[in-house]
Structures are given as C-alpha cells and as structure tokens.
Amino acid sequence: MDLTSTIAAISTPYGTGGISIIRISGSDAIAITDRIFKASSKKVLSSCQSHTIHHGRIVSSGGKVLDEVLVSVMKAPKTFTGEDICEINCHGGLIVTKAILEETLKAGAVLADRGEFTKRAFLNGKMDLCKAEAVIDIITSKTALEQEISVNHLGGALSDKINTVRERLIALCANIQVLIDYPDEGLEDFTDAQFEHELRDICSEINSLLSSSNAGLLLRSGIPVAIVGKPNVGKSSLLNLLSGVEKAIVTDVEGTTRDAIEEYVNLGDITLRLADTAGIRDTEDKVEAIGVEKSKEYIKNSDLIIFMADSEKPLDQTDDIIIKSIGDKKRIALINKCDSGNRVKSDDLKNHFEHVIEFSVKTEKGVAELESCIKKMYEMGDISCDGSPIITNARHRDALLKAKTALDSAVNTIEMQIPPDTTFIDLEEAISCLGEIVGLTVSEEIVDRIFHKFCIGK
C-alpha cells in the first residue's frame, strides 16, 4: 500500500440520508480540500487550527456550487489515521455525495481501498491489530453484548492482556539468554522452581482466554439452528416470532414451506442462525419432496435442532422418524399450542430430549425458557461485559492454541527435569504466536485479508 498518497472515500452508507461524509486522509488532505472548498469566513483550511469545523461551499473545477457543507480539519498526528484528515459533511443525497467525491479525486486524491483508513491507522501505530479488528466487530455487532465486548477490545482489553503475557514470556527468555551467555558471572537468576511456577502461571492465563472462545465465537457468528417437525406444527410461526417480522408464510395448509428460510435472530444476548425448514413427511409433490430433502440436509449441518410438536395432535411414526434423524445433535423439544391442546405431554418426549419446553407461539409462553436453555447448553451464562477480554475471533483463538501447544511442550520439558534453557525455542514460538494477535509478527497477507473485510470509507 502506498502510504504517500492521499486517499478519499464516502464514509457513510451510500444512499439518501440526513448527511453524508467524504473522508480525505494523507499529507495533501488539507491542500486538496482547499482546492474545492470556499469557506464562509474566507479563510483557507491550511491556516486553520486542528480539530475545528468550518462552514462553506464545495465548488466544482468548473466553478459550479455543488453543496453547502461543514468541513472538519484534523492535523497529524492526533487523528484516526495518524495523517492529516479532512471530513466534508454534505447533504445526504446520492448525486451530491458522488459529485463531491469526484471533485476530491480531480483535485489530487485517490480512491481509498476497503478498510484503508483503518489499515493506515494500524501501519502508522495508532492502533494494534486487535483494536483494528474491534472496529469492524463494532460495525457488524448483532447483539448489545457483542457490541460491548467489541468496544472493550477497541479500548485495549484484549491487547493489554496479550501484551502483558507476551512480556512475561520475553522476560523468561531474557533470563535464559543471560544464563547461556554469562554462565560464570554469578548473576542472580530464577531458580528452576521459580521458572516453572511462572511458566505454569502464564499457561493458566492462556487457558483462561481460550476458555471463553467457544461461547465467544458462537456469540459472534451465531449458533446454526434448524427448526424441524411435521407440517403445520408452528415452525414458520416460531421463526416469525423470534425474528420479529413476517419472514415465513403461515397458513393452515400443510406443505406451505417448500424451501428453508434462514434468518439471523437475536434471542436476548444469543445470536441464532435460524432455519425454518419444510415439514418432514412422505409426499408425492415433487417440489415439496425437494424441500423435505433440504430439511434433512439442514439437520445434518446445524449444531442445534429445535424439534416442534403440536400439542393438539398425538405423536406418530413420522415424529419418530424425525427424532431419529436428529442423531447425536444438541436438541430441544418445543410442544407448541400448549395453551389449546394436551394430547402431547412433556413425558412423551423426555426419553429423547433432555430439554422439553411447553410452548405457545401465540402467547409467547416459553421464549424466556428457550433462551435460558440455549445459554445453558452452550455455557454462555458466564459471558458478561465486565471488562475482561473474551475471544470472539477465530484468528485470535488459533494463535492462542498454537501458543498453548508451544507452552505445553515447555512445561513437559520441565516435568522431565530437563534444564529450563532447553525451553527457549518453545517460548520464542509462543511469543511469536501472541505477536500475531496484536500484529507484531503477522504476515502482510493476513493483514491485507483482515482489512479487505472492511467497507470502503472505514
């Protein structure tokens, strides 16, 4: 990436709105903005103080007034990217926003790539890679808890923890290096017992971080869930209830759902990747039969199965077939329409399901119990926003697992009563793995891949 160029992009969602913001960053950001901006005060932006806002008009190269705007001037180094930044706040119309961006490009800026503003902030030392990834996590958060965790990471909760553990490992390596280089100097050093105690304590810190990763990753990506059952037991109604919108068609006619409908659903602090599947039954309708086969595929690929039964109709052979098809998946049974029927009891399903909930889509009975049940199954009850770092990123988890493997090897060496200096290579490997998380030892290819996930303008 060419850090000498000055970049520009629309930083607000592209469309009609109250305002739009065109962001310009680089050594020529202020000069470029001065070429197209006429301040009401007659001042040029280059003479203005940093972190000030100025009223005026954007004028095209042909002398045409494009819009009345406010321009923010922020001078390096105290900016998001560490470079000079100007932000043009214009009216939020498609045509005017695009026209102003085009004028900045004509005046000497180049169009920013995906995530290039945040990437420059990383490369200019304004934030480490953990904090940069927290930016996109905040933008894409699907629940309030996920958003709070991301804000904590942006504030340095995870970075500080990783850097502290990494510094402790570096101190152990330095101690070993001194003993290797100056064996006869009589320098005060750790005893083997002290070395082992510190190493095990560091391993405990790594394990503590990893213990949050299963629930954390599910919090971020969502639990893949398939709703299954016979036709007309309330599967589509459940999807509509949990999503808060009429996503699926609900009728009294069996076989209405011909294809799976997928939707991200927030159930309290849990994100579900919920799929309403076609009712499973024998059918001669070719289209419905395809839907039934897709339902079986969703059972296979989902992590959690919600089986629904209709309390007004007794369980039959079709229910047995569906239950058997779930295999060893995590499962919850909902007995729907419990407010109007009693032909299916909880005891009828407890041989097949550890969790059976009497449910009513109509009255919303059982929703809170369903949330509590899923949290318990996935051990998500301990996740809370108390300022502690929580691993929600697969890249971070993989790096921690590699660090753990290296440290376990070092601990095994100590347990075999081999001198601590033989653990040097393992400790260096763990230090490198932790450096990948904060961006100290990460490859350029991975950095590019991370920032390519961002939108243009961020």
Q: Answer with the one of 334, 357, 377 that is the final residue of a domain.
A: 377
Helix (H, G, I), strand (E, B) or coil at 7: strand
Residue 336 belongs to domain spanning: 219-377
Claim to verify: residue 260 and residue 194 sit in the same structural domain: no
Claim to verify: residue 72 and residue 193 sit in the same structural domain: no
430 found inside a domain: yes
Claim to verify: residue 120 and residue 32 sit in the same structural domain: yes
121 found inside a domain: yes
| Burial environment of residue 450 by CB neighbours within 10 A (0 to 12, 13 to 18, 19 or more) | buried
Claim to verify: residue 87 and residue 150 sit in the same structural domain: no
Claim to verify: residue 359 and residue 340 sit in the same structural domain: yes
Q: Answer with the one of 353, 377, 401 that is the final residue of a domain.
A: 377
pLDDT in tens, 191-212: 778 888 999 999 999 999 998 8
Helix (H, G, I), strand (E, B) or coil at 26: coil
Claim to verify: residue 254 and residue 372 sit in the same structural domain: yes
For the segment 17-21, the average pLDDT, to the nearest whole number, is 93
- Of 255-259, 273-277, 440-444, where does mean pLDDT reach its minimum? 255-259
458 found inside a domain: no
120 found inside a domain: yes
Angle, alpha carbons 162-164-167 (nearest 5°): 105
199 found inside a domain: yes
pLDDT in tens, 411-440: 999 888 887 778 899 999 999 999 999 999
100 found inside a domain: yes
pLDDT at 251: 40
> What's the domain count of the chain?
3
Strand partners, 10: 22
pLDDT at 257: 44
141 found inside a domain: yes
> Is residue 313 pLDDT above 50, yes or no?
yes
Claim to verify: residue 225 and residue 361 sit in the same structural domain: yes
pLDDT in tens, 88-103: 999 998 999 999 999 9
For residue 428, the domain's CATH number is: 1.20.120.430
Q: Answer with the one of 127, 145, 167 that is the final residue of a domain.
A: 127
pTM for the full predicted model = 0.81
Claim to verify: residue 123 and residue 138 sit in the same structural domain: no
1 found inside a domain: no
372-393 exposure pattern, b = at least 16 Cβ within 10 A, e = fewer: ebbbebbebeebeeeeebbbbb
Helix (H, G, I), strand (E, B) or coil at 360: strand
Distance between the two ends of the chain, CA-based, in angstroms?
Answer: 16
For residue 116, the domain's CATH number is: 3.30.1360.120
Claim to verify: residue 186 and residue 242 sit in the same structural domain: no
For residue 315, the domain's CATH number is: 3.40.50.300
Claim to verify: residue 251 and residue 344 sit in the same structural domain: yes
